[in-house]
Amino acid sequence: MRAFCVTVDLDRDVNILIPGAVPAGSIDRGSGTGPRFSSSERGLSLLIDLFDRMGMKATFFAEAATLKAVDAGVMSGHEVGIHGAEHEDLTQIKGADGKRAVLEEAVAAVKDAVGTAPASFRAPYMRADEETVGLLPEFGIKADSSRYAEMSRSLMPKRLDNGIWEIPVPEGTDAGGKKISAYLWPMHESKRRPEDYVRMASAMEEGAFVLATHTWHIVESRERGIMSETEIGTNLGNVRKVLEGMEDIGMRPMTITGVREAMEKRPV
Ligand SMILES: [Zn+2]
């Protein structure tokens, strides 16, 4: 297997931790830190158009509150996994029952929104403790993509003792010795070029290279605010260049569930 996964976190716009509160907020653009969903919704529709034009299936990690706020039906045909209920930091929720309540709400929201049971999980803020990952099988979840893995020639998913497949996001160093991860965040903030990610991926000989982004980040910069239409076009074009670049170096697009199922079929 030499695959790449397009993963997209569908969550509240420019989400931030609110000290002392469990639900996340959105960055304050002058009207407070209450959650906003408009950039997330617009970015979702732009990304779906792009993926559908390219004939590519993505995996969305969707938080319950955002699923209820946007037109979730557009994700039909793509994989929809879970990403919390109110974009909680699960490591800060003490006790298994509190975490169970979040996971239960997240699973129900996906079923309500798209009619299918989720099978994949990414923790908000990429913060999942062992207790959370240990609870995933109770909720029908079979794969976790909440961790970073050191970039190497082999990025084969690993199976945990409880049966969960770990399909992590790679991170490493670029030719100039600077840290790079397969989260496209810096590219949306104009600090990385599409080629940087393709070069990074080209070092993988086998396994799954998991790219990650957020829907809101297609139309809103954390540092510069809502983007102009020109900036949005450039940003979306850069995402396209990354995906085309992956295909050009012979990597095959797969969903997280696609990768997991391929691993399950391999002889032990
Ligand atoms: Zn998130």
How far does the centroid of ligand 1 lie from the alpha carbon of residue 60, in Å?
11
Q: What is the maximum span of the chain, computed from C-alpha positions, in angstroms?
A: 56
For the chain, domain boundaries: 2-265
How far does the centroid of ligand 1 lie from the alpha carbon of residue 254, in Å?
21
How far does the centroid of ligand 1 lie from the alpha carbon of residue 11, in Å?
5
How far does the centroid of ligand 1 lie from the alpha carbon of residue 109, in Å?
16
What pLDDT tens digit does each residue of the chain (268 aa) get?
999 999 999 999 999 999 989 999 999 999 999 999 999 999 999 999 999 999 999 999 999 999 999 999 999 999 999 999 999 999 999 999 999 999 999 999 999 999 999 999 999 999 999 999 999 999 999 999 999 999 999 999 999 999 999 999 999 999 889 999 999 999 999 999 999 999 999 999 999 999 999 999 999 999 999 999 999 999 999 999 999 999 999 999 999 999 999 999 988 6
How far does the centroid of ligand 1 lie from the alpha carbon of residue 125, in Å?
5
The pair phi, psi for residue 6, each rounded to 5°, is -95, 110
The closest alpha carbon to 257, from 154, 167, 135, belongs to: 167
How far does the centroid of ligand 1 lie from the alpha carbon of residue 266, in Å?
32
Three-state helix/strand/coil letters over the chain: CEEEEEEEEECCCCEECCCCCCCCEECCCCCCCCCCCHHHHHHHHHHHHHHHHHCCCCEEEECHHHHHHCCHHHHCCCEEEECCCCCCCHHHCCCHHHHHHHHHHHHHHHHHHHCCCCCEECCHHHCCCHHHHHHHHHHCCCEECCCEEECCCEECCEECCCCCEECCEEEEECCCCCEEECECHHHHCCCCCHHHHHHHHHCCCEEEEEEEEECHHHCEECCCEECCHHHHHHHHHHHHHHHHHHHHCCCEECCHHHHHHHHHHCCC
How far does the centroid of ligand 1 lie from the alpha carbon of residue 10, in Å?
7
| d(C-alpha 123, C-alpha 240), whole Å | 26
How far does the centroid of ligand 1 lie from the alpha carbon of residue 132, in Å?
16
How far does the centroid of ligand 1 lie from the alpha carbon of residue 258, in Å?
22
How far does the centroid of ligand 1 lie from the alpha carbon of residue 35, in Å?
12
Topology, domain 2-265: TIM Barrel (3.20.20)
Enumerate residues with CB within 5 Å of ligand 1 (an ion).
Answer: 9, 11, 124
Q: Is 101 exposed, middle or buried (0-12, 13-18, 19+ CB in 10 A)?
A: middle
How far does the centroid of ligand 1 lie from the alpha carbon of residue 13, in Å?
9
Output the CA–CA distances (angstroms, integers) from residue 118 to 5, 30, 127, 176, in the order listed. 16, 36, 19, 39
How far does the centroid of ligand 1 lie from the alpha carbon of residue 268, in Å?
34
**Residue 175 pLDDT:** 85
How far does the centroid of ligand 1 lie from the alpha carbon of residue 59, in Å?
14
**Residue 166 pLDDT:** 98
How far does the centroid of ligand 1 lie from the alpha carbon of residue 264, in Å?
28
How far does the centroid of ligand 1 lie from the alpha carbon of residue 182, in Å?
15
